[in-house]
Structure formats: structure tokens, C-alpha cells
Structure 1
């Protein structure tokens, strides 16, 4: 049974935070959904194990051990994780903003250095001077990543059947022409609608949806060949090439040990 958690909506900076950077982690024992909420403080979301999702409006990010997400204070968001996911978060006081990140959600590379610094902040007995130095290093180490696992979902009633079908079954192999025929319009009409609503082409949007689903399966320990078949590719090599084009990473990056 899925666990649904309800959290409050809090404006940015509305509550004084008695910390600079505070770490939190949890291994969820059931499939879990966090309803839409916001915090007075900033968050850096990442995982120690597994993949999870964060949703802001129509945008859906996949969060992994190597790709985190900076969530500015006051941003309405929801999320989900499957049982066994070890999710981690750094809560940042409202005045602790990394100089390199914008004031919108952005993917952050969880480098080995950043991970070590965040973990050091959780060490018991850390002196005030050491904490201040480490927090300054964390802020300096956080950089937006050029790689992200992000899907902008189309929201119109016209494209909803396509989006719902492909989100439910990323292995659906219907082409642009097939969908145009089902919708009773031209392929050019579908293309224009996807570009207008998602900022990308139908083919690239499908590849991004498949990549997100693939990451979740890889994090659960699925073989690359099985993942390739599940998300609609004829071979592991075709899947690997499409995955690299979409994410800039190899499937092995997310393969659970």
C-alpha cells in the first residue's frame, strides 16, 4: 500500500531556521508520495540509493545518487519514491544560497566532494569553526549540472492521451504518424503542439520519458537488456545510444549494485 504524506505550504523565509545547513535522510519502507508543499528554507534533494521524482507544475525531475535537485524556498512541489529508496536532503537556511544557482529549481551534480562535505556536516561533535568552514565549502561546491533527467509534461486535453499512454507505458512504440492518425490530425499538428507545450520534439520527449523510467528500473537492479526492452528499444546498444543522447550519461551510471 502506498503511503501518502501531507506537508504544509510555507512561504520562503516565513519561519526562522535555527540552522545553516541541516541534513536529513530516510529509507522509505513503502512506496511513498509527498503531496504538494513548500518550505521556508531551501532544499538540496538527492539519494543515497535508488531513484525518486520531484514535480513542480508540469515539470518532472528524476533524482538519483549522482543527480540532485536544488529546490528554492517557497517552491510548491510534490514527490514520490519507491520502497527501499534512501532519500537524502540538505536543508539550507533562507540566507544560505549557493552563489551559482538561480532562484528556480535546478539539477545539481552530486560530486564525490559535495557528498563528503554534506556527510561531514552530520558528524557528531563538529566544532562551530569546522561547521562554518564546511558549510562555506558546500555552498561553493554546489553547481548547476548541464545534465538532467527532466520531462516537461504537456497539459492540453489534445495531447493528454499521448502523454498518459507514454507515461504509463514508456515501451509504447507508436510513432508520431500513429498518434496523429489516432487523434485525427496531421503529424505536423502534433509536432507543433509538442514544441509549443514541452519546448521539444515528440521524439525527444519520448526519449526523455523513457530515460526517466529506465533510471528507476536500473536503480532497482534491472539488467540493461531488460530495461532496454521494457522502455521500447530493440537492443541494449540502441537503448544505450538514445540514453546517452538524452542524458549525457551511460545507463551504467545508474545501475544498482
Structure 2
């Protein structure tokens, strides 16, 4: 396997390479994989999300996301998002076998920044820096949610509209009239294509966006309104039913991860 990078004057290969992104516009990377590289997304400001078979992840600035080599992933970044993408040679043991959030201590951030700023370090210090950075990455449990997208044109239109505006409270009958299908047929299509009823799918869509907004440090009251709930308490109850913890507990996990990263 070819190395990720190589010193121009010596046969010294390095195994970690970091790219920085500052996005003026909304950007989506279609589903893809890297068979020869693990991927670490980190250093986020703004709204960065990733979807793999292991779930849907909103990536806060306090954490990183480890994507093992060979795992198909789709990444979406809102306008104004800033983040780093570090590629790690697949020959290096994975931090985790599945897509997972990781705490990134300040020393790791400093090491990765230095490796990016000074790519032509001599072999010995570079190897030591790479090994130390990877050894200090720590998997962290975060909330994820599985939300299959339907393929039929009519159900897809409804799904995309609800993801765009989860507070849209139109009934299945209203949506049927909007897309030219009976409520009964639309309901059947949702179950057939996603394995979920329309109401369950909409609830999960609301939770998916809620995770993203909570990860961006919006208040529970703000997120509950944007997610379509009349009161914060109704939102908290729905969040706990779907994710097994309250929005406050979700924030607490992120806060503890931030302390570990300090």
C-alpha cells in the first residue's frame, strides 16, 4: 500500500495527513469510502454531520468522529462550518472498529496541528508524534439515530420536507394531498420503504435534527420549538423515549468529553 505522504528529499513516509476546511457555502460529500485510510473529523465550528451504517452523527467542536477504513459515509457541512479531516494509514490499528465519537485532548490537537504545519519532520520525531496522537484518542458514547430514507418520489418529497422543517405539523392526509397520494397509500409506502410508520419516522426526523442543534449548543427551548414541539417538556419526553436519555444528559456527556479533552 502506498503511504499517505512522503518527504520530497528522503524515502521517509508519513502515515497521518490533515486537511483544514473553511466553508463559505453548504457542502455535501456523497456516500463514499476509503479502503486505504481511516478518517478522523474534528475541530468543528458550525454544523457538521456524518451518516454511516453505524448511525447519524452530529459532530460538536468538543469531539471528533472516527470513521474506520472501508466504512461508507456521507458528510454534510452547513455554510460557515470550519473543521479538520485527518487521514490515517489503514495499516495502523483502528481506534475503534465502528464509526464512533472520540474525545480529542488538547495535546492531540496540538500534535495534529504541528504535523500539518510541519509535514517534513524527520522520521523519528514524526513517528513518535503520530503514535502519541493516536494513543490518546478515546472513544466516547454519544446519541445516534437510525433514519432510513424512502425512495419513492412521493414519500421522498415528504421526508426531505420534514428534515428541512421538522416543525411542519401537516398530517398524513395533508401530505397525501400535497404529493398526489391517498393517506392510506402514503402510510403503506413509509412502512414498506423505511420499516417505520409515518408518525415514527417524523419523530425520528425531529430527533435527528435536534441532535444536530443540541450539538451546536442551542438551548433545549430553542431546539424544542424548531423541532415542532409545543413545550420543552414534550420535547424532553420524546427525546428520552427515542434516545434513552434527556437532552440535558446528552449535553452532559458532551460536557464530560470536553473536560477529558482539556
Verify same fold: TM over 0.5.
yes
Which of 234, 238, 249 is 2:234 aligned to? 238
Closer/same/farther in 2, CA of residues 230 and 21 from structure 1, 3 Å limit:
same
Indicate yes or no: 2:116 matched with 1:119. Answer: no
Residues 53, 148 of structure 1: alpha-carbon distance in 2 compared, 3 angstrom cutoff: same
The aligned counterpart of 1:157 is 153
Q: By how many angstroms is 1:233 displaced?
A: 0.3
**Is 1:207 matched with 2:203?**
yes
**C-alpha contact 1:42 1:72 (8 A) present in aligned 2:** yes
Cα offset, 1:98, TM superposition: 1.6
Would you say the 8 A contact 1:207–1:243 is kept in 2? no
User: Which SS does the other structure have where 1:159 is aligned?
Assistant: helix
In structure 2, the CA distance between the partners of 1:92 and 1:201, relative to structure 1 (3 Å rule), is farther
Where does residue 30 of structure 1 map in the other structure? 24
Superposition map of 1:130-209 within 5 A = 130-131=128-129, 133-135=131-133, 137-138=135-136, 141-142=138-139, 145=141, 147-176=143-172, 179=175, 183-186=181-184, 190=186, 192-209=188-205
8 Å contact from structure 1 (residues 51, 215) kept in 2:
no
Q: 1:136-164 CA deviation, whole Å, 9 max, x = no partner?
A: 5257x347x46314432111234223212
Structure 1 unaligned blocks of 5 or more: 1-12
- Structure 2 Cα separation of the partners of residues 86 and 157 of structure 1: 33
- What CA deviation, in whole Å up to 9, does each residue of 1:4-31 have, x standing for no partner? xxxxxxxxx6x532333334444x2513
Q: How many residues align?
A: 231
- Match of residue 101 from structure 2: 109
Contact 2:51 2:57 survives alignment (8 Å): yes
Indicate conservation of the 8 Å contact 1:66/1:110, yes or no. Answer: no
TM-score normalised by L of structure 2: 0.67
CA contact (8 A) 1:30 1:84 kept: yes
1:80 is aligned to 2:70: no
| TM-superposition CA deviations, 1:18-54 (whole Å, max 9, x none) | 333334444x251331443554422122443332123
Structure label with greater radius of gyration: 2
Q: 1:60 to 1:31 in 2, by over 3 A?
A: farther
Partners of 1:62 and 1:171 in 2: CA distance: 19
Change (3 A) 1:21 1:208: farther
* Aligned positions of 1:215-234 closer than 5 A: 215-218=211-214, 222-234=218-230
RMSD after superposition:
3.8
Distance across 2 between alignment mates of 1:195 and 1:230: 26
Unaligned ranges ≥5, structure 2: 6-13, 115-120, 256-262
